[in-house]
Amino acid sequence: MKGDKLVLLDYHRRAASEIVSQVIQQIMNKNTRYIITVAGESGSGKSETGKAIADELEKSGIKSVLIGQDDYFVLPPRSNDLKRREDPDWLGPHVEVKLDILEGNIVSAMHGEKEIIKPLVDYEANTIENETIKLDGVRVLIAEGTYTSLLKHVDTRIFICRNWLDTRELRQKRMRGNEVGDPFIEQVLSVEHKIIAGHRQLADILITKDFKVVVVD
C-alpha cells in the first residue's frame, strides 16, 4: 500500500532470522516458488515481519517479493471505513477483501509466471490502481495480511499472536487518521479478533506476544 511506513525493530529481525532458518531448506528443495503467509491482527507487525523475512532471505541469496492483503480490499481505505459504518455486515474476509484475486496472483507465481498484475491502494489518495510485479529470479512470495491464513496455496503459514489490545501502542505510532481511540474502530478490531482467533490453529509457525518463534509440531 502506498503511504505505509514500516519501522523494522530488532525483534522483527530476530524472528525473521529464526523463521528463515526453519524454512530455507524447504525453499531450496521446492521446484516451484515457495509461498509464505504472515497473518495477525491490526498493528501486530505483519508487514514488518514480512519485510524482515524478505531481507533475511536476501542475505542467503534468495530473491523474494512481499505483497500486502491491504491492497486487495474491495474499497479504498476511507470508502471502506464509511461502508463499515453504514453496513454492519460489511466486515470480514469474504466481504471486504478480494481473496480470490490474491489467491490467483499466488497461483500465477507458483506456476512460474514472469509477472503478476495486482491492485495497489494509495492510502492518501483513497484510490485503487494496478501495478505490475516482475518475478524474474524470485524464489519466494510472501503475502502478509489479517486473513492470509485462509489462502490455500501456501507452504508455510505464520501467525502473530498479538490481539488488538496488545497492539494499541503500535497502532498509535502508525498515525492513520484517528483510528486509535475511535470507539467504532475498536469495536471493528474486537470483531476481527473473534474472526481470526481460530486462524492460529492453521499456522505452521507462531510468533508469541513477545515475538518468540514457536514451530508447530
Q: What number of H helices and E strands is found in the chain? A: 6, 8
Maximum average pLDDT range among 126-130, 180-184, 191-195: 126-130
In this predicted structure, the answer to whether residue 150 has a pLDDT above a threshold of 80 is yes
Contact 164, 186 (CB under 8 A): yes
Q: Which CATH number fits domain 10-180+187-212: 3.40.50.2300, 3.40.50.300, 3.50.50.60, 3.40.630.10?
A: 3.40.50.300
User: Any idea where the domains of the chain sit in the sequence?
Assistant: 10-180+187-212
pLDDT at 179: 59
Q: Indicate the burial class of 58 (C-beta count within 10 angstroms; 0-12, 13-18, 19 or more).
A: exposed
Confidence of residue 173 (pLDDT cuts 50, 70, 90): low
pLDDT at 171: 64
pLDDT at 172: 66
| Interval 69-127: pLDDT, tens | 999 999 999 999 999 999 999 999 999 999 999 999 999 999 999 999 999 999 999 99
**Averaged pLDDT, 135-161:** 98
| Interval 190-208: pLDDT, tens | 999 999 999 999 999 999 9
Interatomic CA distance for residues 184 and 66, integer angstroms: 30
pTM for the predicted model, two decimal places:
0.93
